[in-house]
Amino acid sequence: MDLWVRSEYAGELAVLSAWIAALLPWSVSASRVLSGGLLVVRFPFVEVQYGIGVPFARAVSLTDPLTAATLQRGTASATGYRVSAVGAAVFAAAVVLSAAYYLREDRVEAGPVDPVRAMGGLLFAGSLVFGAATLSLFGGFPGLTLPVGVPLTLALAVVLLLANRPDD
């Protein structure tokens, strides 16, 4: 019995899930700073900061995870940023696997590891890492921080890990 996805569509879902995970923000933070506001949207591979009425911040800035971790060194949210860089690496591996699976499906399917289960494992691990990063930002980043993409990527990971496969 197929639990949530038909086995013949599990591969397509695995490829799509990696791209969803790569494009969803893993967390969003909003805070009041001085006379303005700051909105930080953290995607796996880029962080977007919107400063509204904040004299020391640019209106919009983009930062990669490693640079963001470096900029936060010595602050209360530094751990969350370092952990998120690990999550970005895990999701990068998922995107590479999805590209290989999309371009060379037969070759990847013939490999020693089921690519659907591998994708589920990568998304599960990345979701846990980004979840831990979000938890660490709760106390370190002023204002409200929400784990936007973490629950969805975790759900996709579970669906992929529980999908019936031809070898089951």
pLDDT of residue 5: 65
* Separation CA 82–CA 69 (nearest Å): 5
Mean pLDDT of 66-72: 84
Sign of CA dihedral 107, 109, 114, 118: positive
Strand residue runs (E) in 21-125: 27-33, 36-42, 47-52, 60-63
2-33 residue pLDDT tens: 456 667 788 899 999 999 999 999 999 888 87
Beta bridge partners of 60: 50
Q: CB neighbours of 57 closer than 8 A, spacing ≥ 6?
A: 33, 36, 38, 49, 51
What's the pLDDT at 68? 84
Of 66 and 167, more confident: 66
- Top-confidence residue, 78 or 94: 94
pLDDT band, very low/low/confident/very high, at 55 (cuts 50, 70, 90): low
Nearest in space to 38 (alpha carbons), one of 125, 122, 121, 142: 142
Share of residues in the chain with pLDDT > 90 (%): 52
Reported as a single tens digit per residue, the pLDDT across 108-163 is: 989 899 999 999 999 999 999 999 999 988 877 778 888 999 999 999 999 999 88
Domain ranges for the chain, please list them. Answer: 7-24+66-162
The CB density around residue 137, as the number of other CB atoms within 10 Å, is 25
Q: Hey, is 50 helix, strand or coil?
A: strand
Predicted pLDDT at 6: 67
Beta strand pairing call for 60-63 and 27-33: unpaired
Backbone angles phi, psi at 74, to 5 degrees: 90, -5
